[in-house]
Structure 1
Amino acid sequence: MYQKSFLLLFAGVLFCFACSDRPISKAQHGEEKRILLLLAHPDDETMLGSFLLQWRNAGHEVRAIYFTAGEGGKMFKGLDEHGQAQYEVVAAEELKKIRCQELQSAALGYGIDDHLMLDQGDVPLRDQQGKPVRDVNLFLGANIWDQGTIAQKIKAYVASYQADIVVTMSMDQDAHAHHKAVRFITQQLWDQQVFGKKAKLLLAVEEGYRIDSSKGKENLPVWQTNRLTNALPGTKKTYAEQSFAVAQAHQSQAAGHIPAPKNSTETLYIVEKR
């Protein structure tokens, strides 16, 4: 009951937030874009929150496809005396329900107009020592995800939504096999022109200042970088403030409680045609 009441209250707050601090929409002048996100879990959209806020305020249409509902994770319970995140095990079906509800609220705040859940298993592949396998080929080879069904559902979705820009996570983002798998599958579909011949493919990296090379490990040119301490154009609030206000919808996850580190950046790299 508490979780449901909180989400209803939070949705109301986000509705007011989403309608405030918006400059005149460029979309009114025929410059609107169609953008499609392909992400592994609910809350992954927070890793490119600054761009979502920009696109929302510009009046662009943004949709998202999530490969899993995040049911394989744990419930965030708070920080210990050392500042370390503490978690509680929750039944998968209950956690899935919670995270899907949270995503509804976050999507409203970020201006995500529609999202599709592919319902692939949020299950890590583990080695003999019980540690998560990071190798994307091993993960996909284990057939935890049904790649045929994934491709079929994405093709059906984009048949009626041809995006100008497709965004997924970069291999630079982290070592999570699910993120790598989404990156790998998205590249395959883009190479097959499933998203259309003209669609740009962008790769998102949170906290891009950690990357040594300006082109990142994937050696791709930067499309745009946002420093989160800067103000969102047309507003008086920083990217960090506005994005974290939306991210707090994800109360079951650390992203809903812990803001991005100071001086963080978010970067989009552009994949060049092969």
Structure 2
Amino acid sequence: MSLVQAILIAIIAGVSRCEGDWLGECKLREPIVTGFLVGLVLGDVKTGLIIGAELQLMWMGAVGIGPVAQLDIGIGGTIGTAVAITTGTGAETAILFGVPVAVIMQFLNTLLMSAYSGVMLSADKKIDALDFRGIRWCHYFCGICTFLAYTIPTFIVMFFGNELIEGIVNNMPDWINTGLGGVAALLPCLGFALLLNIIMEKRLIPYFILGFIPAAYVGFDLTMVAIAAIAVAVAWIIFMLRSNEGTAKVAANTAADDEWED
């Protein structure tokens, strides 16, 4: 990997962390976006998109709830995709390097947020003194420190650790590669399960079935299982609609009786 490529990948990692802070919610941290950008830098956009999409399926349910720190999928996807492309391997290698990096950077981000509490005390004093320039510098200081905390380690890993990474990948036993391949196949299912655990409601299940069947059988003939699933989903929707109509009629009759009594 050249010096320029390592610098650009480090910048991608740093910018992915700036999302939610300076850049707002623009989805730059998503693996499919960082995968495209890394592929563009390394001259293999197709592979970058494929690996990014596979990592996206794995991490699509990784959502931070409340004050709980979430996995840092931005830098995890960036480094994972870069390693997979430079070593000529697939998603299993991206997972091997991307997941530990995402966990480690999650803890680093927690430490940074704790360290910034001192800066916030200084910002409070500047607010009381109406020192708007000082307040802006507190904001810029925290943002620049966070950006450097992500870009510098990424650059070191990508530029100076490239040979070490290739040695690790090339010398891994076959049973590890086989296991990682199995993990790469199962983790997207886990990502979907985590996402459904957050958003799924009973009234959405039939629509999920109707959307899943075409996606699962594109290019294949429908089996009896698929046809039965579609029938169950349609029957479920009809049942819900009729149940809602009955509830609406009861509510209307109750309202009419109340008006008559008045």
User: If the length of structure 2 is used for normalisation, what is the TM-score?
Assistant: 0.21
Larger Rg: 2
When the two structures are superposed, what TM-score results if normalisation uses the length of structure 1?
A: 0.21
